[in-house]
Amino acid sequence: MKSNGVTGGGLPENVIMPMADIYETPDAFVLSMDMPGARKEEISLTLERGLLHVSAASGRPHVADATYLRREIRATGYRRAFTLGEGIDRSNVQATFEEGVLTVKLYKSAEKLPRDIQIH
């Protein structure tokens, strides 16, 4: 292995917290996270006791016999947890992964939705 800089291989795990955007629509919370290099099949999303856990391995290409002239991509994986408030419909969570961005849509429970009251 050549070594004029940093060489590949043997790096320890470096799980980072992905940056997230969250916005609220009238009927849902939409959460999206930057997870470049992750693969759809390797993303784990679990809902447990008021916490939404997200984790994934980053598919960072490891080139063992190459010489790294620059190495800035740190993540070997992603992990983050979000506290969920009341009023999330746990049975209705949708997730998509596109362009390295994971988007999770958490629908509000029916009783939390704004509704019109009829005046009799």
Partner 1 sequence: MMVRFERFPVVPGHDVFGLDRGIHEIFQALEGRSRLPFVPAGYPAADVTEEKESTVITLELPGVNKGELKITMADGLLTVSGQRKARALPENSRWVRNEVTTGSFSRSFEIGHPVNVGEIAAELKDGLLRIVLPKAEEARPREITVR
**Contact residues: partner 1, CB under 8 A:** 6, 8, 11-12, 14-17, 19-26, 29, 32, 34-40, 51, 59-61, 63, 65-74, 79-83, 97, 99-101
The least distance separating partner 1 from the CB of residue 113, rounded to whole angstroms, comes to: 12
Cβ nearer to partner 1, comparing 89 with 103: 103
Token pair, residue 18, equals: 């992905």
Cα separations in angstroms, 68 against 10, 14, 16, 23, 74: 13, 17, 21, 39, 13
**In the bound complex, what is the minimum distance in angstroms from residue 120's beta carbon to partner 1?**
28
Q: Which is nearer to partner 1, 71 or 90 (CB)?
A: 71
Place of tokens 């994986």: 77
Q: Which CB sits closer to partner 1, 10 or 120?
A: 10
Q: Which is nearer to partner 1, 3 or 120 (CB)?
A: 3
Contact (CB, 8 A) for 80 and 17: yes
Q: Which residue has the tokens 């800035």?
A: 72
77-83/15-16 β-pairing: parallel
